[in-house]
Amino acid sequence: MSVFSKLMGSHGTKKPYSSSVKSGLTPLQSATPVAPVKTNGLAWSAPPEHALDNTSESILRAFASLPMDQVLDHLQVEREGLSGDEAEARLRVKGPNTLRSQKPPSWFILLLKVIPNPFNLLLIFLAIINASIPPPDWTGFTVLMVMVTISVLVRFWQEYRSGLAVFRLQMSIKTAVRVRRREGETHMPTSELVPGDIVLLAPGDVVPADCLLLETSFLRISQSQWTGESAPVSKLAVAGGDKADGSLFDLANICFMGTGVVSGNATVVILRTGSDALIAAMSKALRKSRDLNAFQRGIQNVTWMLIGFMGVMVPIVLVVSAKTTGNWGQAALFSISVAVGLVPEMLPAIVNANLARGAYLLSKKKAIVRRLDSVQNLGAMTVLCSDKTGTLTKDEITMREALDWAGNVDVEVLKLAVIEATIQGTGGNNMDAAICNFRLESGQEVQTTKYEKSVVIPFDFERRRSACVVRGVAGGAMLICKGAFEEVYSRCSKIQTDKGESAMAGHHRTTLKQQVKTLNSQGYRVLLVATKQLAKAQIDDEDGFDDIETNMTINGLLTFVDPPKPDAAESIEKLKTLGIDVKVLTGDNMAVALNVCRALGIVQREDSIDNDGPGAMTGAELANLVDEEDFDEAVKSCKVFAKVSPVQKESIVASLKKHGHAVGMLGDGMNDCLALRKADVGISVDSAAGAAKDCADFILTEKGLAIIVESVTIGRVTHANSIKYIKMVLSSNFGNVFSILAASAWLPFTPMTNLQILAQNLLYDISQIAIPWDNVDAEFLETPKSWQPWGKYNPPRPPTSR
């Protein structure tokens, strides 16, 4: 055995680099095939015996703690996979591996949903009164119902069309996976998977169901849609042990439906599919009815205002008219006419036309409107709660600098890193790809071709480092190692300084550790680069060394970050100009979140990760605030919330709404769903988790804040034109009513009939149909606009109006 074979096969007792690596997968437990198991009814579908209850979390924890052989035995499957007949039988029992159907509701159901608008109900009530009091006024009844019909049809068509657009978007994403069946490997739709299926995962795959890892090869999984953590996590095929007190997502041998394979390969066995999966449990929790949003509350307030005025005016008109004419029946009909005159009959139609116009304009800005009400809510939004990864940042690891031990830029460190990354290859490691991209962008020339690759030691999540041995043109050999700071630092005894290589002294160690601590506090990920010169005998002598990665020389540091998007700072500044406060809610750690938010101007430089400043808090700190007032004050004052749970995100949004804010929430993961539903405006993206898109009011076809800035302006234009109509028509209607009331006190006959009042209102309303296309003054668009009926309308005009 050569020295490099020993290096790759001796890491404690686990030996992850055994000869089985040649197959491309690393079984981290015995690969002995499980003996064929006879099917015993539906025992394969029952939870493990030691599961605490029947919840998805408890069952997954139970599976994670079992040895692989016991899991396979419980699922009644061999490593060669299920037979086609057995899989088909299980599919009939469990049903397809899909979540609740995302098909839009039928046109009839959607029509029933859009009818019960407060204005519509008020008009329907008045129409029924017109038709029920003898003699029935069928003309008035018809006019009112026509107004309701127009309003309903405008709203129905826009929401039906948006629903179809979202459905087509979802249906355009079809996935298939490699499945190992007893008859051989095949590709099949994820909807046909069943518990016990053996699935092979590769980079780029989406995990099709909750599953247990059987074999892994450098597997890294993105769980950001669940946890908010931007960095992928390593997964290993080892029993998870007792994780009762830890996070479910810390289980090393469990992968969850909807997460993504970033790099590496794995063989998994499916545990839970469809409605049994963990993601389905979250979906069920989201089916409760939603709170009223800002627009709905505004419409409700306006409706109650009208009802209040009617409650005051109708009895007055009834008494005054009856005493003047002496005919109580005629006075009753006249008072109903006054009630009709107070109501702007075309208000629902014109408001919905405004919303539909706004939705059309938003579609031109790459935003699909799922709920028409939310167009106006964009204009009312005062706080935008946003996730970090992919919205404020690029969602890609980028190399920032190559530094020496003292923190100075060092080209030689970059050259070493480029050589090692090039030899490793960039197919499955985003760090290596970032190093190579940095070299191209910096224009630094590195002659990698003059180095001959001798040995490659891939990155291992247990070793947390990678290495290679290269031969130079002179025939000498050099080991280049890079990896996590502690893992590489502990194997080094020398350091490269500007005076050359020297033994590592105390001040070297102190300075180096302080550099790393500072960089970590600023949100950077740090890799250490080290080298070692090797003699020919060290390479050829099979028994020369137990481990060559010792006594290495530290050359320098590499820093990495998920950088802010180029337009993020500008977009945030524009949102501030528009009167919108931006708060960041992320599951990522505080250092990373604060580094990004400082760069974008969301928080000030003095806000520390220890919360010395008022700008940031962690989820743990929020959890310690047992007093509701303290929690509300923290939410009000803080700009950044890191390591927050889905429930905490929802509570933050609820707190803001409670204090009068119209809240927008931008998120794309399962951990954002509760907050998306709670917000007045839920915003997601087309690449988001299915449940997140279900909870959203808007779906952006391009992720970023720039689209939201433009959308806010459109929302305010929509709001302005709606309010413009309401102010004009209500002030006019009130003027008419007071004029009629004054006339009825002096005239011995009814001044105007119900039909005349309706005709007058409609003649005026028809002229307002073009309002959705009206221009809006620039100063009106500078601040958020909300529905405040008691303070928005002109006082009633004196006896003459139109």
Residue 647 lies in a domain: yes
Question: How many domains does the chain contain in total?
Answer: 4
**Are 404 and 546 part of one and the same domain?**
yes
**Are 596 and 504 part of one and the same domain?**
no
CA dist list (Å): 696 to 174, 366, 463, 693: 21, 15, 42, 5
Tokens of 411: 């080209």
Handedness of CA 9, 13, 19, 21 (dihedral sign): negative
The pLDDT score that the predictor gives to residue 283 is 64
How far is Cα 470 from Cα 450, in angstroms, rounded to an integer? 10
Last residue of a domain, one of 541, 561, 581: 561
- Is 387 marked active-site? yes
Residue 174 lies in a domain: no
| Whether this model's pTM surpasses 0.75 | no
**Are 701 and 780 part of one and the same domain?**
no
How far is Cα 451 from Cα 437, in angstroms, rounded to an integer? 20
Residue 657 near residue 680 (C-beta atoms within 8 A): yes
Last residue of a domain, one of 272, 307, 326: 272
Burial of 625 (0-12, 13-18, 19+ CB in 10 A): middle
Residue 181 lies in a domain: no
Residues 6 or more apart whose CB falls under 8 angstroms from that of 704 comprise 391, 565, 567, 568, 571
Residue 640, φ and ψ in degrees, nearest 5: -125, 130
**Are 354 and 371 part of one and the same domain?**
no
Residue 581, φ and ψ in degrees, nearest 5: -85, 135
- Please tell me what DSSP assigns to residue 409: B
The pLDDT score that the predictor gives to residue 220 is 84
CATH number at residue 255: 2.70.150.10
Residue 288 lies in a domain: no
**How does strand 640-642 pair with strand 581-585?**
parallel
The pLDDT score that the predictor gives to residue 531 is 93
**Are 583 and 685 part of one and the same domain?**
yes
CATH number at residue 329: 1.20.1110.10
Tokens of 764: 């005026």
Last residue of a domain, one of 711, 745, 780: 711
Handedness of CA 451, 455, 460, 464 (dihedral sign): negative
Tokens of 258: 């909807």
How far is Cα 580 from Cα 582, in angstroms, rounded to an integer? 6
Residue 186 lies in a domain: no
**Are 481 and 513 part of one and the same domain?**
yes
The pLDDT score that the predictor gives to residue 287 is 59
Tokens of 428: 């499955």
- Please tell me what DSSP assigns to residue 136: P
**Are 53 and 130 part of one and the same domain?**
no
CA dist list (Å): 406 to 413, 415, 425, 507, 542: 13, 18, 29, 10, 37
Residue 522 lies in a domain: yes
Beta bridge partners of 497: 500
Task: Name the catalytic one among 387, 432, 668, 694.
Answer: 387
Omega within 30 of 0 (cis) for the link into 796: no
**Are 554 and 477 part of one and the same domain?**
yes
Tokens of 660: 């009068």
Domain of residue 687: give its range: 367-394+565-711
CATH number at residue 641: 3.40.50.1000
Residues 6 or more apart whose CB falls under 8 angstroms from that of 463 comprise 11, 483, 487
Three-class HEC string of 202-266: CCCCECCCEEEEEEEEEEEEECHHHHCCCCCEECCCCCCCCCCCCCHHHCCCEECCCCEEEEEEE
Residue 342 lies in a domain: yes
**Are 657 and 761 part of one and the same domain?**
no
Residue 799 lies in a domain: no
**Are 338 and 373 part of one and the same domain?**
no
- 631: helix, strand or coil: helix
Adjacency order of strands within the sheet including 367-369: 367-369, 698-700, 681-685, 663-666, 383-386, 581-585, 640-642, 616-618
**Are 409 and 493 part of one and the same domain?**
yes
**Torsion region of 643: left, alpha or beta (phi above 0 gives left; psi -120 to 50 gives alpha):** left
Which residue is it, tokens 């490099």? 4
Tokens of 144: 């009112």
**Are 540 and 458 part of one and the same domain?**
yes
- 270: helix, strand or coil: strand
The pLDDT tens digits of the residues spanning 209-242 come to: 999 999 988 788 888 777 766 667 888 888 755 4
**Torsion region of 12: left, alpha or beta (phi above 0 gives left; psi -120 to 50 gives alpha):** left
The pLDDT tens digits of the residues spanning 185-217 come to: 999 999 899 999 999 998 888 899 999 999 988
- How far does CA 197 lie from the centroid of its chain? 30
pLDDT means per 10 residues in the chain (802 residues)? 34 31 33 40 78 81 90 92 93 84 65 71 76 76 78 70 54 72 91 94 89 89 74 79 63 89 89 86 64 71 78 81 76 76 74 84 85 83 87 83 91 91 71 87 70 74 81 74 91 90 91 90 89 72 60 94 86 91 86 85 63 71 88 92 87 92 87 86 80 81 83 88 81 78 74 73 77 84 71 43 44
Residues 6 or more apart whose CB falls under 8 angstroms from that of 99 comprise 274, 275, 277, 279, 280, 283, 690, 691
